[in-house]
Amino acid sequence: MTRSRIVAAALAVALTGLAGCGAGDSVDVDGDATAGGSAGGTLTAAIGGEPDQLDPHRTSAYYSFEVLENVYDTLVEPDADLKMGPALATRWTTSSDQLTWTFTLREGVTFSDGSPLTSEDVVYSYQRIIREKLNAAYKFATVKSVTAPDPATVVVTLTAPTPNLLANLGGFKGVAIVEKSNVESGAIKTRPVGSGPFTVASYTSGDTIKLTRNDAYWGQKPKLDGVTFTFVKDPTVALQNLRGGEVQWTDNLPPQQVPALKEAGEVAVTTTPSTDYWYLALNEGREPYDDVNVRRAVAFALDREAITKAAKFGQATANQTAIPQGSSWYYDYSPYRHDPDQARQLLGQAGVKGLTLDLMVTSEYPETVSAAQVIAAQLKEVGITVKIRTLDFAQWLDEQGKGNFGGFLLGWLGNIDPDEFYYAQHRTGGTFNFHKYSNPTVDTLLDQARTQTDEGVRKQTYERAAKQIVDDASYIYLYNPDVVQGWSKKVTGYQVRTDRAIRFRDVALAR
């Protein structure tokens, strides 16, 4: 029997199955109804991978933060428009020299184990991050001291004015307020104790994390009895789980199927522009990419619409700057039309012929792999041969750190303040300036904007920096992707957030 006949036979079997039976509509909603007015029920959410650990100060994995968002609180937190608003702190004042911030804590807040959350806990949490140099330590770079004059007051003093201090202290749960005894017992890695709407009830490695409602939560009581997180790496399987009713929420949908899913309406699928951006960086520590004309040539050679389509199946917005349109920091600037002639001319000016670009992408982010193929075709038109190198992420990071690349594709995720969009990436010697960009004008602007307290002036300063960065093609910006999430029609009250924070506190489940 030939191979094609085997395939035909397999197809016939599958078709017979299709014709014979309808879809099984089994709905499996765990959890018993509780007394009281709440709708109750346990929502099962499928996320794309497993958290490495649940200590918010030590993890860097987005999977961890998907869980921790529902378990922990920060001093302040971003609202739906990413404006920082009250959370554990109800109000705050700033001294006239902008160097002292005084926060007043909400009254009567307790951790989920019942012990009170006071200013001492805030001081402990911040000092833990600073002293042990944990992941978010860079957010406290200008913090001189954190003190607790009384149980309801936290005072933060600074070495320089820090207009984005609120974003630093509340932009994500990596700066959450933790409980000292939970840290010291080591239990925080698997059984963290926070003050958020839910609390971790169990963690089965490789399988599930179960949250139950925190009845002592200071805000509006969550309607759900609990949330169960399962880890499903394969998007096809996650979608199947959602359709079958085993799962009621997922952010791991196969991108190519999203348009059809939205059309079908069987499950709710929502896409919202995110604050992420994806870009191409050329290694300015290497010839000929140290020549701005070569970088600009590449920028002109790219057709961003085509790249966006290939990489994200349309679930993204092409952009020539970093900050997305919806943001109050958006800067409308797009000097690079798709113009291969201009690109060839610039390459000629630079005296570059027969260039081969070593472009590094990673299988960890499949969109970089698909984007690279389109970019290779587009650059070929202007005489640049692209050699695509696909690596696993650990190796990719290694090569990036060593500067072993001609160019690479990657994204920056979950940015709020413009400082996060530009500083570490484009400041000379910045932590993530792996492509060795250096422009003294940009350095000065970024340094000024960091401490600029007048918001209008600050925005203008960032726009001047952004213009220079785009003109120099330090990063060749490509697009801002959408956040894509799907949930069962039984789920109500869920809001997709542009910063990808997953909040289940206002969600209800029809029964």
Q: What are phi and psi of 227, to 5 degrees?
A: -130, 130
Task: Determine the Cα–Cα distance for residues 197 and 214; give it in Å rounded to an integer.
Answer: 5
From 30, 266, 381, 392, residue interacting with another protein (rule: CB under 8 A): 392
Q: For another protein, give the closer residue by CB, 399 or 447.
A: 399
From 306, 413, 447, 448, residue interacting with another protein (rule: CB under 8 A): 413
Smallest distance, Å, CB 207 to another protein? Answer: 4
Smallest distance, Å, CB 242 to another protein? Answer: 10
Q: How many residues sit in the footprint of another protein (CB under 8 A)? A: 60
Helix axes 340-349, 292-301, angle to 10 degrees: 170
Q: For another protein, give the closer residue by CB, 230 or 308.
A: 230
Smallest distance, Å, CB 54 to another protein? Answer: 9
Smallest distance, Å, CB 502 to another protein? Answer: 17
Smallest distance, Å, CB 61 to another protein? Answer: 7
Residues 342-381 binding another protein (CB under 8 A) are: 364
Q: For another protein, give the closer residue by CB, 82 or 343.
A: 82
Smallest distance, Å, CB 449 to another protein? Answer: 19
Smallest distance, Å, CB 127 to another protein? Answer: 15
Q: For another protein, give the closer residue by CB, 138 or 454.
A: 138
**Closest-CA residue to 478 (of 325, 335, 319, 364):** 319
Q: What are phi and psi of 87, to 5 degrees?
A: -140, -100
Q: For another protein, give the closer residue by CB, 340 or 366.
A: 366
Query: Exposure of 446 by Cβ count < 10 A (0-12 exposed, 13-18 middle, 19+ buried)?
Result: buried
Task: Determine the Cα–Cα distance for residues 127 and 167; give it in Å rounded to an integer.
Answer: 18
Query: Exposure of 413 by Cβ count < 10 A (0-12 exposed, 13-18 middle, 19+ buried)?
Result: middle
Q: Return the range that interacts with another protein (CB under 8 A); candidates 31-39, 100-108, 129-137, 379-387.
A: 129-137
Answer yes or no: are the C-beta atoms of 449 and 419 closer than 8 Å. Answer: yes
Amino acid at position 256, single letter? Q
Task: Determine the Cα–Cα distance for residues 76 and 308; give it in Å rounded to an integer.
Answer: 35
Q: For another protein, give the closer residue by CB, 155 or 237.
A: 237
Task: Determine the Cα–Cα distance for residues 156 and 103; give it in Å rounded to an integer.
Answer: 8
Helix axes 292-301, 366-380, angle to 10 degrees: 100
Q: Give yes or no for residue 205 binding another protein (CB under 8 A).
A: yes
Answer yes or no: are the C-beta atoms of 474 and 320 closer than 8 Å. Answer: no
Q: Give yes or no for residue 233 binding another protein (CB under 8 A).
A: yes
Q: For another protein, give the closer residue by CB, 71 or 105.
A: 71
The torsion of the CA quartet 263, 265, 266, 272, rounded to 10 degrees, works out to 90
Residues 92-111 binding another protein (CB under 8 A) are: none
Q: Return the range that interacts with another protein (CB under 8 A); candidates 186-194, 304-312, 477-485, 493-501.
A: 186-194
Q: Give yes or no for residue 160 binding another protein (CB under 8 A).
A: no
- Measured CA angle at 204 (ends 203, 210), to 5 deg: 45
From 86, 151, 244, 314, residue interacting with another protein (rule: CB under 8 A): 244
Q: Give yes or no for residue 230 binding another protein (CB under 8 A).
A: yes
Smallest distance, Å, CB 461 to another protein? Answer: 23
Q: Which residue stretches of 409-500 are H helix?
A: 418-426, 440-451, 455-471
Task: Determine the Cα–Cα distance for residues 238 and 502; give it in Å rounded to an integer.
Answer: 17
Residues 14-53 binding another protein (CB under 8 A) are: 14, 17-18, 21-26, 49-50, 52-53
Task: Determine the Cα–Cα distance for residues 415 and 271; give it in Å rounded to an integer.
Answer: 18
Q: Return the range that interacts with another protein (CB under 8 A); candidates 12-20, 29-37, 319-327, 442-450.
A: 12-20
Q: Give yes or no for residue 421 binding another protein (CB under 8 A).
A: no
Coil vs helix vs strand at 13: helix
Residues 50-79 binding another protein (CB under 8 A) are: 50, 52-53, 55, 58, 60-61
DSSP 8-class letter at 116: B
Going residue by residue from 207 to 226, which x/- string records binding to another protein, judged by CB under 8 A? x-------------------
From 100, 240, 345, 373, residue interacting with another protein (rule: CB under 8 A): 240
Give me 361's structure tokens.
Answer: 């992408």
Give me 500's structure tokens.
Answer: 């990808």
Smallest distance, Å, CB 138 to another protein? Answer: 4
Smallest distance, Å, CB 80 to another protein? Answer: 23
Q: Give yes or no for residue 478 binding another protein (CB under 8 A).
A: no
Coil vs helix vs strand at 20: helix
Q: Which residue stretches of 334-426 are H helix?
A: 340-349, 366-380, 393-402, 418-426
Task: Determine the Cα–Cα distance for residues 67 and 70; give it in Å rounded to an integer.
Answer: 6
Q: In the complex, which residues of this chain contact another protein (CB under 8 A)?
A: 1, 6, 10, 14, 17-18, 21-26, 49-50, 52-53, 55, 58, 60-61, 132-138, 141, 186, 189-190, 204-207, 230-234, 236-237, 240-241, 243-244, 246, 364, 392-395, 397-399, 401, 412-413, 431-432
